[in-house]
Amino acid sequence: MSLGPAILFCPADRPERYAKALERSDAVILDLEDAVAPDAKAAARGAVIESELDPDRVIVRVNPPGTDDFVSDLATLSQTDYRRIMVAKCESPKRLQRIDQRFEVIALCETAKGVAQVERIAALGNVSALMWGAEDLVASIGGTSSRKPNGRYRDIARYARSRVLLAAAARGKAAIDAVHLDISDTKRLAIEAADAAASGFVATACIHPSQVAIIRDAYRPDDKAVAWADAVLTAAEGERGVFTYEGRMVDEPVLRHARAVLRRAAR
């Protein structure tokens, strides 16, 4: 999955926002789940059917498997060209495996059961990416907040984040970092997005257009990093095995870091 680093949620019952959301981000998530009240879901599905967005840049978040809403969501999408779905509250690998194979699945692991099953979920052939969610996770455990008073994640959230990232990487799948709910806290968003990029996430989801530029800047390597990556890879062409560059030992893991920097710069 390669959609760019800033993926913007848009309530599916607000079709007047669809085009603008896609214009302002790298991809849009049309949300049929938590963003839509139960009595508005039917109208939201109708809006999705009538929309004409580029399907290559659209993800549709559907309701959890095992619910009537999930069945209705997939029936709706079968009438469209949208084939990439984000499945909310993934917990059962068997249920995910039974999803119509026409659909590419982004598995949202946002409950205790989901995180506990994440390695099995990542192994499924129809799953292309994993995402985690902090608030539903903590609620599923019986907690009241995913963050400490200083704005940093609590240990349980950090553990889930790391486990989802590792499970995705072990299976060669993409990993998407969770949304930052405090729209005004741009400093914390920038810190966390930069950490996500450096850790190996391919994207960070967001809930407001103002967060897009911050996330893009965080994922984009600066000129110094790009220059270093170019130079160290050039130097490696004349070396055999481990060598020293600018006083630092360089081996294959360092070269992989350099290649990752250039891939991010080219996005």
pLDDT digits (tens, 9 = 90+) for 229-266: 888 898 888 888 898 888 899 888 889 888 888 887 87
Q: Is residue 95 over pLDDT 90?
A: yes
The pLDDT value given to residue 229: 85
- Asked whether residue 259 falls in the same domain as residue 211, the answer is no
| Better-scored residue on pLDDT, 234 or 99 | 99
pLDDT of amino acid 226: 85
CA distance 131 to 221: 23
For 247, counting Cβ atoms within 10 Å of its Cβ (0-12 exposed, 13-18 middle, 19+ buried), the class is exposed
Does position 1 have pLDDT exceeding 70, yes or no? Answer: no
Higher pLDDT, 197 or 240: 197
Question: What pLDDT is recorded for position 224?
Answer: 83
Note the pLDDT of residue 25: 97
Whether residues 209 and 228 fall in one domain: no
Looking at the chain, the whole-number percentage of residues with pLDDT higher than 70 is 99
Give all strands (DSSP E) within the chain, no chain letters.
Answer: 6-11, 27-31, 58-62, 84-87, 104-109, 127-132, 174-177, 203-206, 243-245, 248-250
Same domain, yes or no: 25 and 135: yes
- Answer yes or no: is 147 within a domain: yes
Q: How far apart are CA 67 and CA 51, in angstroms?
A: 24
Q: Is 1 within a domain? A: no
Choose one of 204, 219, 234: the last residue of a domain.
219
Nearest to residue 260, comparing CAs of 228, 213, 217?
228
Q: Select the more confidently predicted residue: 62 or 223.
A: 62
* Average pLDDT of the residues in 63-90: 97
The total domain count for the chain is 2
When pLDDT is averaged across residues 177-206 and rounded to a whole number, the result is: 96
> CA–CA separation, 196 vs 211, rounded Å?
15
Residues 260 and 156 in one domain: no
What residues contact residue 25 under an 8 Å CB cut-off, 6+ apart?
4, 6, 7, 8, 206, 209, 212
Task: Give pLDDT, residue 3.
Answer: 79
Instruction: State the pTM of this model.
Output: 0.89
Asked, for residue 193, whether it belongs to a domain, the answer is yes
Q: What CA–CA distance (Å, rounded) separates 93 from 120?
A: 6
Mean pLDDT of 161-183: 97
**Residue 267 pLDDT > 80, yes or no?**
no
Which CATH number belongs to the domain containing residue 36 in this structure? 3.20.20.60
What is the residue whose two structure tokens read 């290649």? 259
**188 lies in some domain:** yes
Same domain for 174 and 258, yes or no, is no
Assigned domain for 48 exists: yes
Q: Are residues 214 and 242 in the same domain?
A: no
List pLDDT tens digits, range 23-50.
Answer: 999 999 999 999 999 999 999 999 999 9
Segment 58-80 shows an average pLDDT of: 97
**Within this chain, do residues 234 and 111 fall inside the same structural domain, yes or no?**
no
Of 39-48, 111-120, 188-197, 251-260, where does mean pLDDT reach its minimum? 251-260
Are residue 122 and residue 163 in the same domain, yes or no?
yes
Tell me, yes or no, whether 200 and 260 share the same domain: no
- Write out the residue range of the structural domain in which residue 106 sits: 6-219
Examine the domain organization and report whether 210 and 228 are in the same domain.
Answer: no
Residue 34 lies in a domain: yes
Kindly state whether residues 138 and 192 are assigned to the same domain: yes
Average pLDDT over the chain reads 94
- 86 and 116 both lie in a single domain: yes
Asked if the model's pLDDT at residue 109 lies above 80, the reply is yes
